[in-house]
Amino acid sequence: MSLSTAMHPKPARGCFITLEGIEGAGKSTHIAALSALLCSMGIGVVTTREPGGSPIAERIRALLLDSSNTGMDETAELLLMFAARAEHLSKTIRPALESGAWVLCDRFTDATYAYQGGGRGLNPERIALLETLVQGDLRPDLTLLFDLEPALGLERARGRGTADRFESETLHFFDAVRAVYLERAHASPERYRLIDAAAPLSDVGEQADQALRALIETRRGETADASGEGEHL
């Protein structure tokens, strides 16, 4: 260990938490409360979103969501998602995690499997190749899946104003998106927490809160074991 490392030990990597679900599931409403919970426990937090989350990635987002971009090639859409993700990872997510902050991200690669894989019908093996290329071995520590019937989600989302390029998709598209989310959640129960997003707002908040508290407790236990001390994250 170098002298500077000994004097300024590297902070433990922060946890990477993603929120997923179809439109109208309420992720954006709950992310602020989750961020406040982390802050109240003295944990640094960065709240971000995909596509977007860094200046260039936000420009790619505008292209992807613009409903006047009709007939976008599906592979082009997939590559734009990962181009935005590469920027987001290098400018926002990795620096935050390395500084010890926890990252709360509104959508990540599970959305690519669900929307481009399920909704557009692209081959998930190709998505997996891009995932490895862009992310290396970085995967979320916890994914909160806000699940609800697409008809209800779309009714909520469309009530918010003009539909973007994805919100203009059919119910059939969102049924396929939801099915892939649920398949992935069942395949990786250690990473996913399924949240009933059709429940009253306060219950949904409580479910999300509990999932986050469980991760904080696990992290505290691991950190205490590693350092031989208690409490520090």
Contacts with ligand TMP, residue ranges (CB under 6 A): 23, 49-51, 81, 107, 111-112, 115-116, 166
CB of 142 to ligand TMP, least distance (A): 17
CB of 124 to ligand TMP, least distance (A): 13
**138 burial via Cβ count (<10 Å: 0-12, 13-18, 19+):** middle
**Per-residue CA distances from 28 to 21, 107, 199 (Å):** 11, 10, 16
CB of 12 to ligand TMP, least distance (A): 27
For residue 21, the SS3 value is coil
User: Measured from the CB atom, is 208 or 233 closer to ligand TMP?
Assistant: 208
CB of 122 to ligand TMP, least distance (A): 11
Does residue 44 contact residue 102 with C-beta atoms inside 8 Å?
yes
**159 burial via Cβ count (<10 Å: 0-12, 13-18, 19+):** exposed
User: Measured from the CB atom, is 54 or 116 closer to ligand TMP?
Assistant: 116
State the residue for tokens 């992720």. 27
User: Measured from the CB atom, is 93 or 111 closer to ligand TMP?
Assistant: 111
